[in-house]
Amino acid sequence: MSISALQKDRYKYKPKLPPALQGDLAKIVVELGQATQSVANQNEVKALFPNTYGAPIAKVVSGKNKKADQALTLAVVLSGGQAPGGHNVIAGLYDGLKKGNKKSRLLGALGGPKGLIDGKFTEINDDLMDAYRNTGGFDMIGSGRDKIEKPEDLEKVVAVVKANGINGVVIIGGDDSNTNAAVLAEYFQSLKLDVSVVGCPKTIDGDLKNEHIETSFGFDTACKTYSELIGNIGRDANSAKKYWHFIKLMGRSASHITLECALQTQPNVCLIGEEVAAKKQTLDQIVESVASVVAKRAEQGNNFGIVLVPEGLIEFIPEVGALISQLSDVLAHDHEGPKEFEKQTTLDTQLAWLEKHLASANAQVLKSLPVEIQRQLFLDRDSHGNVQVSLIETEKLLVELVKRKLKTWAIEKKYSGKFSALTHFFGYEGRCAFPSNFDADYCYSLGFNAFVLFNAGLTGYLSSIRKTHKSADKWTCGGVPITMMMNIEQRQGKPKPVIKKALVELDGKPFQTFAAQRDQWAVETAYLFPGAIQYYGPAEVCDQPTKTLKLEQS
């Protein structure tokens, strides 16, 4: 197989490990602290996880480990969307496992959780592992979005782990996947089955973090990849001086990616969904704020600029969020609605039908939207009939509405500039990029640390690496009980235990740093050009974490 020079060289990269994970495994142990409780709904969460709730925080320290060389068989599962560094989590787990005992085995579940349910594995050996070190993607064993939560699936997994002599399962995933890990750990414990479950925090969205999980892996690489592209567009815009670029960025539930990219590139406008929700801004208010920046720059002769938009913005807008919620209810497959709705053959009759079934305020919002956005709202639905928010072209919606606003202002003699806009959506471009040195090191440490937690016999934990805003030689390691991060939320109309998502904190340093400068960025052309991710050179160029992480932890 032919490979690029960079890929060939990256195979040779030796990820940096924190001091606690270096040296003789016989001298690495886990120290347990005080009992914990969930972030909210303590009684409800405890009732659902009676065997694993309240577990203590774990810290990796020096000591005497009599079980360092025990032979183990572990299964590893990639769950959910891709994130740069996943292969290095597996590499760290594999190297720790083999360092403990050469006879230990690592089984890769093929296609994600479904592979664990169906018992479809490939045994990872040196040749297979070496072909994927420090590379992006999840193609080594594949991923999937299946959940292990139905009684019949839990029973199948028990049969699979028994049949394959599996001592532990590591689930590499986001908040939903690691909630699933907690469910699996609790189920094993309820059966008194000696099989451990440990998770590793993955998501480029950056919304899986708390006091003990400082960042999710992949966020660093994805943001740097998007910021390079935004910087390139900024340079082009300032050269051509004729286009407004509206750029949508991944992150449906939280705006962390958009905020980090703004800190890295200094766009003219950056919309943060959490601020929109907190201020209860209407769609018209958002449009007016963007149009005002366009008009101010036009007065200076600058008919160009950059607007960053989070993928989930539209759900943060109160009146649009209410519309989407009711649309999903009306059109959900467990209602009679779709059967009648599908009989409507034209846009006009579809709108007329919906108007009868929507609250008047929601019907008015729907009618005010551009035709293409209307179609996306009620035609592009998932298998349950819910609106697929990620498919709504919010960037195009804003362009159309800003254009309308500017046209009105031009008639009123309030605006005389030229507005030409281009739209972009950066999402998949960053999910499988070559991991940055930070993500390569962080992921390898997460995997190696997960092995140490398994070796200590812990279950229901998330691998935790801390002090990550500093160089790797100052990182510390441990584990945090997954139940500690949980609360109860309504999912599909039912209360469900889930890991609480971390939203952008408006009083936090990252947002406050951005807010202090955005008025200046709005009118000035102050773009930064981060350039491509660097893998070789001084640490201040190659090994730096995101601005978000440094601001949050400093």
444-503 tens-digit pLDDT: 999 999 999 999 999 999 999 999 999 999 999 999 999 999 999 987 668 899 999 999
Quick one: angle between helices 360-368 and 318-331, nearest 10?
A: 110
128, 149: one domain: yes
398, 462: one domain: no
Task: Judge contact between 296 and 523, C-beta under 8 A.
Answer: yes
Any domain includes 8: no
428 contacts: CB under 8 Å, gap ≥ 6: none
212, 227: one domain: no
253, 194: one domain: no
125, 29: one domain: yes
CATH of the domain at 247: 3.40.50.460
- Domain stop point among 456, 471, 499: 499
Any domain includes 2: no
303, 165: one domain: no
- Residue by residue, pLDDT tens for the chain (554 residues) are 678 898 889 999 999 999 999 999 999 999 999 999 999 999 999 999 999 999 999 999 999 999 999 999 999 999 999 999 999 999 999 999 999 999 999 999 999 999 999 999 999 999 999 999 999 999 999 999 999 999 999 999 999 999 999 999 999 999 999 999 999 999 999 999 999 999 999 999 999 999 999 999 999 999 999 999 999 999 999 999 999 999 999 998 999 999 999 999 999 999 999 999 999 999 999 999 999 999 999 999 999 999 999 999 999 999 998 998 888 888 775 456 667 888 888 888 988 998 898 999 999 999 888 888 888 887 666 655 567 777 789 999 999 999 999 999 999 999 999 999 999 999 999 999 999 999 999 999 999 999 999 999 999 999 999 999 999 999 999 999 999 999 999 876 688 999 999 999 999 999 999 999 999 999 999 999 999 999 999 999 999 999 999 999 98
**What is the domain range of residue 195?**
17-218+435-499
CA distance 272 to 512: 12
CA distance 141 to 78: 8
CATH of the domain at 160: 3.40.50.450
**Dihedral sign of CA atoms 118, 120, 124, 130 in order:** negative
Any domain includes 285: yes
166-208 tens-digit pLDDT: 999 999 999 999 999 999 999 999 999 999 999 999 999 999 9
Q: How many domains does the chain have?
A: 2
CA distance 229 to 519: 23
204, 301: one domain: no
CA distance 409 to 120: 62
CA distance 345 to 355: 15
413, 326: one domain: yes
Any domain includes 9: no
The pTM of the full predicted model, rounded to 2 decimals, is 0.95
Res 383: pLDDT: 56
109, 165: one domain: yes
Nearest to 139 by CA among 107, 175, 112, 113: 112
184, 227: one domain: no
Task: Judge contact between 475 and 438, C-beta under 8 A.
Answer: no
354 contacts: CB under 8 Å, gap ≥ 6: 327, 330, 341, 363, 366, 378
Any domain includes 375: yes
Any domain includes 5: no
Q: Is beta strand 244-249 parallel, antiparallel or unpaired with respect to 421-426?
A: parallel
356, 229: one domain: yes
Task: Judge contact between 213 and 487, C-beta under 8 A.
Answer: no
Any domain includes 1: no
Nearest to 463 by CA among 59, 1, 7: 59
309 contacts: CB under 8 Å, gap ≥ 6: 246, 247, 248, 249, 258, 271, 394, 395, 398
What's the whole-number average pLDDT of the chain? 94
Distance, C-alpha 306 to centroid of its chain = 24
Q: For residue 435, with 0-12 CB atoms within 10 Å meaning exposed, 13-18 middle and 19 or more buried, which class applies?
A: buried
Any domain includes 4: no
CA distance 547 to 541: 13
Distance, C-alpha 440 to centroid of its chain = 17
Strand partners, 481: 461
- Domain stop point among 460, 477, 499: 499
| Residue 284 annotated in active site | no
Residue 37 — left, alpha, or beta (φ > 0 → left; ψ -120 to 50 → alpha)?
A: beta
- Domain stop point among 463, 480, 499: 499
CA distance 306 to 322: 29
281, 302: one domain: yes
Q: Which of the residues 176, 205, 441, 543 is marked catalytic? A: 205
